[in-house]
Amino acid sequence: MMTNNYRLVSLAVLWLAAVSAPAQPDAFWCGQRLIREGMRASDILDRCGEPDSKDIVEEPIFAWRPGGGRVQTGVTVTEYWLYDRGSGRFPARLTIRENIAEQIELLTR
């Protein structure tokens, strides 16, 4: 009996944690235009204009050689765009890879 109560309480706690977890946004409004993950960077620029700030990070891509060791085969570029959406609205940070918005975050801090 005690084991069943423990399981029930554990399941209830897990369910409440899952239900109350904040969902990550995958879209935001830029004026009257919706910006979504998966959009092309050029479409976002057309709708919102240039971001308030832009950080560009280049990271090397490596491959393993058949005999051991590794060699750099290329570079991946990730851009982080920040839009200050005005008073009372959280700033939006977009992660852009290969000219596609892969992630949208509303920054609370």
Q: Which domains does the chain have, with CATH numbers?
A: 25-106 (3.30.1450)
Q: Predicted confidence band at 13 (pLDDT cuts at 50, 70, 90)? A: low
Please give the Cα distance from 35 to 23 (Å, whole number).
17
Q: What is the pLDDT of residues 76-90, one digit of tens each?
A: 999 999 999 888 889
Query: What pTM does this model have?
Result: 0.69
Q: Which residues of 14-44 are buried (b: 16+ CB within 10 A; e: fewer)?
A: eeeeeeeeeeeeeebeeeeeebeeebebeeb
Percent of the chain with pLDDT over 70: 77
Q: What is the pLDDT of residues 44-70, one digit of tens each?
A: 999 999 999 999 999 999 999 998 899
Q: Indicate whether 22 pLDDT > 50.
A: no
Q: Predicted confidence band at 20 (pLDDT cuts at 50, 70, 90)? A: very low
Percent of the chain with pLDDT over 90: 62
pLDDT at 64: 93
